[in-house]
């Protein structure tokens, strides 16, 4: 599952997620909240260690008017 599917899950379930995790950073993997953190850096570090780059999403659980969206894509470097 990709970033779009994880974000769609977050949007569909926002009210329930906000009640459980207000203002937390959610690590979302395969349309499920795997773990929550108080900072983006903690969430991103955990996600990278647990799943590898490009295999999870981090979403701040705040109302849309306050929300910052971070999008990261996996980058591959090739020697030419």
Phi/psi of residue 10, each to 5°?
A: -60, -45
Domain layout of the chain by residue ranges = 3-66
Q: What is the pLDDT of residue 80?
A: 44
pLDDT under 70 in the chain at which residues? 1, 65-80
Look at residue 54 in the predicted model and tell me its pLDDT: 84
Rounded distance between C-alpha atoms, residue 79 and residue 21, angstroms: 43
Residue-level pLDDT at 78: 47
């Amino acid at each position: 599952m990709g970033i779009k599917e994880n974000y769609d899950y977050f949007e569909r379930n926002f009210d329930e997620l906000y009640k459980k995790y207000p203002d937390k950073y959610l690590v979302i993997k395969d349309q499920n909240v795997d773990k929550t953190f108080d900072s983006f850096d903690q969430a991103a570090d955990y996600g990278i260690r647990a799943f590898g780059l490009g295999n999870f999403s981090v979403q701040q659980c705040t109302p849309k008017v306050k929300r910052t969206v971070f999008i990261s894509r996996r980058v591959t470097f090739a020697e030419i």
